[in-house]
């Protein structure tokens, strides 16, 4: 394993796709560890983000991308599980309520700073990351609203990608964001997902 700190910069730019009215996917091109896809719901009074990104640079780029769609602030940030590619950028969502399963909170705190991951993967240019776990937690699920659009955040209930995976289900749209909690084929089948399935 190399001790070189890097952040993949030779990839094509990330993109925002509206997959349903006021429901957006933020797609980062594949090419390295620590690259995830996120999404957000843009409401009249605020934004709900599904996950953060892994580095300060990537999370800021994601927030800038949200700003190209709406001037409203991110009021709610949902962590679908504890892995750093979904949570290391939490601290950059100033003023947002960070929502996650109780075990997500515990696991974010246990995982700790990004440097702890270097023993398993190639290290990247993290930036100045501050660990910020969810502070609104649930055991089975919670419902959040983007204007009149219901978003059901539900714990998977059994170990999938981790022991604390959750999905975000939009029943009125018949779509969900399943993050990395199950295989690509299963997500396409069970979620009927217009949200991107990496």
Secondary structure of 52-109 as H, E, C letters: CCCCHHHHHHHHHHHHCCCCCCEEEEECCCCCHHHHCCHHHCCCCEEEEEHHHHHHHH
2-54 pLDDT tens trace: 344 445 556 678 999 999 999 999 988 876 667 788 999 999 999 999 999 98
pLDDT reported for residue 191: 43
CA 157/CA 190 separation, integer angstroms = 15
pLDDT reported for residue 76: 98
- Give how far Cα 55 sits from Cα of 2, 22, 114, 183, 186, Å: 19, 26, 9, 24, 28
- Bridge partners of 141? 154
pLDDT reported for residue 69: 98
pLDDT reported for residue 178: 63
pLDDT reported for residue 115: 73
Question: What one-character DSSP code corresponds to residue 159?
Answer: -
CB 43 within 8 A of CB 143: no
pLDDT reported for residue 97: 98
**Whole-prediction pTM value?**
0.84
Residues with pLDDT less than 70, the chain:
1-11, 31-33, 116-121, 123, 159-160, 178-198
CB 149 within 8 A of CB 131: no
């Amino acid at each position: 394993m190399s001790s070189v700190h890097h952040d993949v910069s030779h990839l094509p730019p990330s993109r925002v796709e509206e997959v349903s009215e006021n429901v957006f996917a933020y797609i980062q091109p594949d090419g390295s560890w620590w690259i995830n896809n996120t999404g957000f719901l843009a409401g009249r009074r605020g934004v709900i983000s599904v996950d953060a990104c892994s580095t300060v640079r990537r999370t800021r780029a994601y927030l800038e991308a949200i700003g190209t769609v709406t001037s409203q602030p991110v009021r709610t940030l949902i962590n679908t599980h504890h892995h750093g590619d979904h949570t290391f950028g939490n601290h950059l969502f100033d003023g947002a309520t960070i929502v996650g399963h109780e075990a997500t909170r515990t696991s974010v705190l246990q995982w700790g700073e990004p440097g702890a991951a270097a023993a398993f993967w190639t290290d990247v240019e993290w930036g100045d990351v501050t660990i910020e776990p969810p502070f609104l937690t649930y055991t089975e699920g919670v419902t959040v609203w983007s204007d009149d659009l219901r978003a059901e955040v539900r714990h998977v209930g059994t170990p999938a990608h981790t022991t604390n995976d959750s999905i975000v289900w939009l029943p009125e749209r018949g779509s969900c964001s399943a993050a990395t909690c199950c295989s690509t084929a299963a997500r396409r089948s069970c979620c009927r997902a217009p949200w991107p399935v990496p």
